[in-house]
Amino acid sequence: MTDFIEFFKELMNADKLASLVYAYGGLYLVALIIFAETGLFVGFFLPGDSLLFVTGLMIASAPTPEPFDSNWLNVPFWIALISVAGIIGNSVGYWFGKKTGPIIFERKDTWLFKKKHIQDAHDFYERKGGGAIILARFLPVVRTFAPIVAGVVDMDKKKFFLYNVIGSFLWVASMILAGFFLGEIPWVKHNFEKIVIGLVVVTTAPVLFKMFFGKKTPGVDTTL
């Protein structure tokens, strides 16, 4: 457990995270990690937000820009490539949920699992599916499981794909551009951990507030 905590602290350090990325494949590794975090169960602990922020920082400060000589070409290139990785990741998660959905629906109700909760999730995605998929991109852990749940409840494939593309691009572009324009400011580099935690709080707090304090319509169970 101690080793995991120390590893997590290193991932929250901008310089160490940048060194780790460069040591194992550069920004192509970032694309692979974003794919894993947004499409595989085992990727829920990966530092997507901080990694994308550091990606912007590395693009801005790279002594030999890649793959182009101009960063004004590199920025859209990496945003596009990593966005595609996120789109594919979510698509894999959706596919997995869709394939396992029938098995889940055949299960008997238990104290932990109830088919009604899946139906509630289905209704939620029908009403707010697009917004949910986009918002999930900015929520650690949630972005890993949101596409799987969307597949389980059989969210419309075309609708899911559209908001999957929009959400991936908005998330990747906003984080990389923030790192690109702000990353070289000394205060930002020295307070990287606080900034990442702040990003998590800002993106997660509204959802938690809605969950615990939002008004519920009488007779409607909003539990997923």
Q: What is the pLDDT of residues 158-212, one digit of tens each?
A: 989 999 999 999 999 999 998 888 866 777 767 766 776 776 666 556 555 655 5
In a domain, 189, yes or no: yes
Residue 216 has pLDDT above 90, yes or no: no
Residue 68 — pLDDT band, cuts 50, 70, 90?
A: confident
CA 15 to chain centre: 22
Lowest-confidence segment of 5-9, 15-19, 132-136 by average pLDDT = 5-9
Lowest-confidence segment of 10-24, 66-80, 128-142, 197-211 by average pLDDT = 10-24
**Choice between 200 and 91, residue whose per-residue pLDDT is larger:** 91
CA 125 to chain centre: 18
In a domain, 224, yes or no: no
Cα–Cα nearest to 191, from 15, 4, 5: 15
In a domain, 223, yes or no: no
User: To the nearest whole percent, how much of the chain has pLDDT over 70?
Assistant: 59
CA distance 49 to 64: 24
Residue 78 has pLDDT above 80, yes or no: yes
Lowest-confidence segment of 29-43, 91-105, 181-195 by average pLDDT = 181-195
In a domain, 187, yes or no: yes
In a domain, 176, yes or no: yes
Residue 114 has pLDDT above 50, yes or no: yes
Question: Would you call 183 helix, strand, or coil by DSSP?
Answer: coil
User: Across the chain, what does the average pLDDT equal?
Assistant: 75
Q: Look at the chain and report how many structural domains it folds into.
A: 1
- Asked if 91 contacts 161 with a C-beta cutoff of 8 angstroms, the reply is yes
Residue 79 has pLDDT above 80, yes or no: yes
In a domain, 222, yes or no: no
In a domain, 219, yes or no: no
Query: What is this structure's pTM?
Result: 0.73
Mean per-residue pLDDT, 84-99 = 93
Q: Which amino acid is at 114?
A: K
Highest mean pLDDT range out of 98-102, 128-132, 178-182, 195-199? 178-182
Using CA atoms, how far residue 161 sits from 52, 95, 154, in Å, is 22, 11, 13
Q: Which DSSP string corresponds to 109-133?
A: P-SS--HHHHHHHHHHHHHHHHHHH
Question: Would you call 101 helix, strand, or coil by DSSP?
Answer: helix
Q: Which amino acid is at 43?
A: G
CA 122 to chain centre: 21
- Asked if 146 contacts 138 with a C-beta cutoff of 8 angstroms, the reply is no
Mean per-residue pLDDT, 86-105 = 86
Highest mean pLDDT range out of 73-77, 84-88, 108-112, 212-216? 84-88
Using CA atoms, how far residue 1 sits from 11, 16, 108, 179, 200, in Å, is 15, 20, 35, 30, 22
Domain hosting 201: range is: 2-213
Per-residue pLDDT, 217: 42
Question: H helices within the chain, ranges in order?
Answer: 2-11, 14-23, 27-39, 48-61, 71-106, 115-136, 142-152, 157-182, 186-190, 192-213
Cα–Cα nearest to 205, from 147, 148, 138, 143: 138
Per-residue pLDDT, 155: 85
Residue 119 — pLDDT band, cuts 50, 70, 90?
A: low
Residue 32 has pLDDT above 80, yes or no: yes
